Copies of this chain bind each other. A is one copy, B any other.
Amino acid sequence: MTLESENISADNDTHLDGVLPVSPELVAEIETALANGDKDQIDFLLEPLHSADVADIFEQLGDNDRRLLTSFIGSDMEPEVLSELDDSTLEDVISEMDNLDVARAITQMESDDAVHVLGYMDEDEQREIIAALPIEDRLAVEEGLSYPEDSAGRLLQRNLVSVPGRWTVGKVIEYFRTEENLPTEFYEVFIVDPSHHPIGIVALNKIIRTNREIKIRDIMEEAPTVVPVHMDQEEVAYLFSQYDLTTIGVVDDSGRLIGMITVDDVVDVIEEEAEEDLMRMAGVQETDISESVFEASKNRVIWLVVNLATAILASMVIALFDATIQQMVALAILMPIVASMGGNAGTQTMTVTVRAIATRDLTSSNVKRIIIRETTIALVNGVVIALLIGGLSWLWFQDALLGGVMGVAMVINMIMAGLAGILIPVALDKMDIDPALASSIFVTTVTDVIGFFAFLGLAAVVLL
């Protein structure tokens, strides 16, 4: 670790900017060294850094500099730097590296990291690199890749510590001291039966604190948390966070222990999953920031085109009332307010609903109550906003009836927004469609269409 305790306590700085090693100045120095082709200077600058910080530098450099840096240090790239890179930077860096260098880095990784890195290559590259691996690594990696993306199988580390329950604590400690193939870090030991089914788990601190003669099965926690190898990583992450776990065992279809997942691997998954919802609701990819301009444009424009269709639909509703608008231009001036407020209120309800579904706070036990709750909130806030904008419209256009129409249309649209905001994500979830991905399109369509229709329709009936 490069974080110096003296620095922090000395200036009592509680902001990370002065503390983290990757400063804008450092990045600028590296850019200069790259421009000068000064490899020694680059080595000098990167040498003291943690691999996660080196990865950050790769992510912050422009495309050209990134390629230059890769070609400079490619042949002695730390394996940890590769496994810390974000997805699209990883693709970029790997495609620039020599296959043999990638293979060398991969053999030095834990199996989960190796599978993660290989997962971002196209099949041809994968095959070439796997062929360059030693046989035992090759089998482990091929099996890892056979599991679906985002499953427990992709996260698992094959190298775990498991012992039979009849061993004494002393024998277990002896085993730790003599066995060379243990993981570099582990916090817990699995107890397995003769057919390698997990029957318990013991934390290291408990082993150290226990008398050497005692049998390990007498101090184990029974029924360890294990998950099937195909479980989605989001659900694995949920178990860690729900039960404050540090280690989960992974079992194959016959219930045999084939690996473990530790909490540090899951921290990234948890961040990813919450971020995914945010990004999907706005119609962007999670990796957008490090994608090429072409990729990002392409991914975003799809969403924009879908939204364009819904905007056109709303315009067709307006077109139904063109004669009404011609008679009273005030309607054209006020109508976007109804649609926009409905959209905002709908987005509030929808965001709460999407997160509540993701965090399992919204279940079939309480969905009815939450629907009533959201409708009540929509009604209350609809009335508040309706009184405000109804009054303002009256004053603006000196027309009490117009103010009334505005207010009533607003209440109608806000209630519809609330209903759409909860019912649409719940329905999508029931249909196994990710509510974060599709809800906002449907919700804004509802609020636009209903908003324009309620306001212009009421106006046509009441005012003309």
Contacts and interface: CB of A to CB of B under 8 A. Distances in A.
B341 A339 contact: no
Nearest to A292: B373
Contacts of A365: 24, 27-28, 60
Contact of A278 (B271, B304, B355): B355
Contacts of A388: 305, 308
Contact of A245 (B249, B264, B314): B264
28 contacts: A1-B243, A2-B223, A9-B255, A15-B232, A15-B235, A16-B231, A16-B239, A50-B243, A52-B243, A52-B244, A177-B211, A182-B209, A240-B267, A267-B267, A275-B355, A278-B278, A284-B351, A296-B373, A300-B345, A301-B381, A304-B345, A307-B344, A312-B389, A318-B332, A325-B332, A332-B332, A335-B336, A340-B444
Main secondary structure of the interface of A (DSSP, over half): helix
Contacts of A337: 308, 311-312, 314-315
A112 interface: no
A404 interface: no
A188 to B, nearest CB: 9
A108 interface: no
Contacts of A123: none
Nearest to A50: B243
A253 B340 CA distance: 50
A230 B9 CA distance: 10
Given A15-B235, A24-B363, A314-B336, 16 more contacts: A2-B223, A27-B363, A50-B243, A59-B361, A60-B361, A62-B366, A187-B205, A246-B246, A271-B359, A281-B351, A284-B348, A290-B361, A296-B373, A304-B344, A308-B337, A315-B336
Copies in the complex: 2
B264 A362 contact: no
A166 interface: no
A385 interface: yes
Contacts of A9: 226, 228, 251-255
A144 interface: no
Interface stretch (A67-75, A93-101, A196-204): A196-204
A120 interface: no
Interface string A426-460: 00000000000000000010001000100000000
A165 B209 CA distance: 20
B282 A348 contact: yes
A139 interface: no
A162 to B, nearest CB: 14
Contacts of A464: none
Interface string A261-283: 00110111011001101110111
A220 to B, nearest CB: 12
State the 6 A-B residue pairs at the shortest beta-carbon distance, nearest first.
A274-B274, A9-B255, A282-B351, A27-B365, A332-B332, A204-B204
A369 B62 contact: yes
Contacts of A369: 62
Contacts of A339: 336
Contact of A177 (B209, B252, B278): B209
Contacts of A176: 205, 208-209
Interface in A337-370: 337, 339-341, 344-345, 347-348, 350-352, 355-356, 359-366, 369-370
A376 interface: yes
Contact of A173 (B208, B293, B314): B208
B289 A356 contact: yes
A329 interface: yes
A53 B244 CA distance: 12
Contact of A376 (B203, B293, B363): B293
Contacts of A394: none
A380 interface: yes
A185 interface: yes
Contact of A14 (B211, B228, B345): B228
A128 interface: no
Contacts of A463: none
